[in-house]
Amino acid sequence: DQQVKQNSPSLSVQEGRISILNCDYTNSMFDYFLWYKKYPAEGPTFLISISSIKDKNEDGRFTVFLNKSAKHLSLHIVPSQPGDSAVYFCAADLTGGGNKLTFGTGTQLKVEL
């Protein structure tokens, strides 16, 4: 089951620069997308979400962009901080799907000093 894919297992960025994490999906019925951050030994922490009726949502340093025609979304973090170093998961949901989130495999972000 590869309905949500994160093709980059890892990403390294310098502090202060922009981090861009990517996610692709195959199910055109997905209409709600979320990004979660996960530190070791902790559960996923909700970061930001976007509905399919929008193409951008911003919350502080985090912005999510959605390109429905390409079935692609991205998370931008600017400026990146060392505390952002974590695994980032993309997840998708669909109306009437029983609130069943489908997760990607995650991208390990490392923000270096």
| Contact residues for another protein, defined by CB under 8 A | 31-32, 34, 36, 41-46, 49, 51, 89, 91, 93-95, 97-106
Residue that the structure tokens 């993309």 belong to: 90
Q: Which is nearer to another protein, 78 or 94 (CB)?
A: 94
Q: Is 5 helix (H, G, I), strand (E, B) or coil?
A: strand
Closest approach of another protein to the CB of residue 82, in Å:
22
Q: Is 36 helix (H, G, I), strand (E, B) or coil?
A: strand
Closest approach of another protein to the CB of residue 105, in Å:
5
| Token pair in block for residue 71 | 């079935």
Sign of the Cα torsion 96, 55, 13, 60 reads negative
Q: Which is nearer to another protein, 35 or 111 (CB)?
A: 35
